[in-house]
Amino acid sequence: METTKLMVNRKRLLDTINVSSSIGSLENGGLNRLALTEDDKKMRNIFVKWLREEKLEVRVDDLGNIYGRRKGTFNDSPAVAIGSHLDTQPCGGRFDGILGVLTALEVVRTLNENNIETDYPIEIVNFTNEEGARFEPPMLGSGGVAGEFTKDFIYNTKDNENISFQEALINIQYMGDEKHRLRDIKYFIELHVEQGPILENNNKLIGIVEGIQGISWLNVKVVGETNHAGPTPMENRKDALAPTAKMVTKVYEITNEIEGLKTTVGKLNVKPNITNVIPGEVEFMIDVRHKDDEIRAVTIDRLREQLGTIAVMNNVEVTISTDWNSDAVLFSSKVMDAISEAAGVLGYSTLRLFSGPGHDAKYISKMADTGMIFLPSINGISHNEKELTLEDDIEKGANVLLNTILKLARAQ
């Protein structure tokens, strides 16, 4: 078939990415383009201009999400949506979700210049505040559209300077209409950098994402008794840090025993944190991830029990609370197959894998058959100015996206 040989314009795509890389740019090649800032506005304005140049019907919804719709042969049928987000972390990379939006644009440009009409309409999407770096939690735009968060909740989240989402949205003049929100779509496809080393380590090009791991954040507080290091005999101490060290080791012991489980103790604070004072309190977080929610739940029970035992044996108190829970998501096998087929026709290697971080696709998967394409991140680095996805890989990824869309936008 002729259409499967259709290819994107590499130079045009890279030029477009370069324009994005110049808005909010940092000195080491990264970007600081927090959601709903002046730089985000600048990027949005250019993006809207590009959408209009392609004769797309542009709309903005009440969460600042931007859509560009391309008509299909069956124009009343649900659209195939493609996209991601244009916002970044404060010291973020140039690619991240940006690739998902700009490759979607390149897909439409390629269709336009080749006068290809798809059966179903296509919608390019840019979701607001995916990063959660300015307004917490992350993925407010996609979560709002999917009914995960109420409008009220989203509008009232505030940044560090106490500016609300709603104010910020009005300030940059991207307050649109609720009736413009994404709804009634057939598929959603998000291309994104992997933010991990799995593709690179396995020497594969195209990641076919099977789903997103479930996450829990446990807060562990260990309370002993502060005392002076010099006089207090070892046997009289109620040191909070000594049993904490055993707990951290135990966390990783348990992790080693459970296939596919990831845990991280990334944050740990000692009080009073003075060299010659026996710690009276330690608070730490455990990040627990697994693609199977049941295994994650069992792991948490086991952590509670084992950490509790260590506390009892060391004569300290422990309280463990869950700060955040987010269940795993499984993507559509129909979409996975379409990506797989597109990559196969183009001769690119693929790997099926689960995503550790959350993405807009996580929430949108509640509305339609959803899938993601991952591209390799060099050394797995992300949320860092050093984040890098090679130009060749970007071009190939865009071609996979194009051919996946051609397949999914065709009436069977």
| Binding annotation for Zn(2+) | 85, 96, 131, 192, 383
Q: What are phi and psi of 217, to 5 degrees?
A: -110, 115
With CB under 8 A as the contact rule, the residue among 231, 321, 347, 412 that binds a second copy is 231
Token representation of residue 94: 């140039």
> 282: part of which helix (H) or strand (E)?
strand 281-290
CA distance 164 to 152: 11
What H or E segment, with its residue span, contains residue 406? Answer: helix 391-408
Least separation in angstroms between residue 128's CB and a second copy is 18
CB of 225 to a second copy, least distance (A): 8
From residue 75 to residue 94, the character string flagging contacts with a second copy as x (rule: CB under 8 A) and all else as - is: --------------xxx---
Closest CA to 217 of 120, 288, 318, 142: 288
Between residue 101 and residue 140, which ones bind a second copy under the rule CB under 8 A? Answer: 132-133, 136, 138
**DSSP state letters, 140-152:** HHHHHHTTSS-HH
CB of 254 to a second copy, least distance (A): 11
Total binding residues toward a second copy, as defined by CB under 8 A: 69
The angle subtended at Cα 367 by Cα 187 and Cα 118, nearest 5°, is 20
Q: Tell me if 321 contacts a second copy by CB under 8 A.
A: no
Residue 287 near a second copy by CB under 8 A: yes
* Closest approach of a second copy to the CB of residue 315, in Å: 14
Q: Identify whether the C-beta of residue 166 lies closer than 8 Å to the C-beta of residue 63.
A: no
Q: Which of 36, 43, 191, 278 binds a second copy (CB under 8 A)?
A: 278
CB of 272 to a second copy, least distance (A): 6
Coil, helix or strand for 144?
helix
CA 193, 400, 360 angle in degrees (round to 5)? 40
> In whole angstroms, what is the distance from residue 67 CA to residue 47 CA?
10
How far is 77 from 119, CA to CA, in rounded Å? 9
> For residues 313 and 331, what is the distance between their CA atoms, to the nearest angstrom?
44
Rounded to whole angstroms, the Cα distance separating 28 from 231 reads: 51
Which residues in the 6-65 window bind a second copy by CB under 8 A? none
> Which residue from 77, 226, 309, 325 is in contact with a second copy, where contact means CB under 8 A?
226
The Cα 20–Cα 16 span in angstroms is 7
Interface with a second copy (CB under 8 A), residue from 65, 84, 126, 355: 355
Show the CA angle centred on residue 104, arms to residues 38 and 352, nearest 5°.
115
Give the residue ranges of the annotated binding site: 85, 96, 131, 192, 383
Largest Cα separation within the chain, whole Å, is: 84
Near a second copy in 171-210, by CB under 8 A: 194-198, 201
Which lies closer to a second copy via its Cβ, residue 123 or residue 281? Answer: 281
Among 215, 338, 351, 372, binds a second copy (CB under 8 A): 215
Spatial CA neighbour of 207 closest among 194, 195, 190: 194
Told to check if 308 binds a second copy by CB under 8 A, we report no
Least spacing, CB of residue 98 vs a second copy, in Å: 15
State which of residues 22, 57, 177, 252 lies at the interface with a second copy (CB under 8 A). Answer: 252
313 part of the interface to a second copy, by CB under 8 A = no
Which of these ranges, 51-59, 77-85, 142-150, 374-382, lies near a second copy under the rule CB under 8 A? 374-382
Residues found near a second copy in the complex (CB under 8 A) = 89-91, 132-133, 136, 138, 194-198, 201, 213, 215, 217, 225-234, 236, 239, 241-242, 244-249, 252, 255-256, 261-262, 264-270, 272-280, 285, 287, 289, 355-358, 380-384
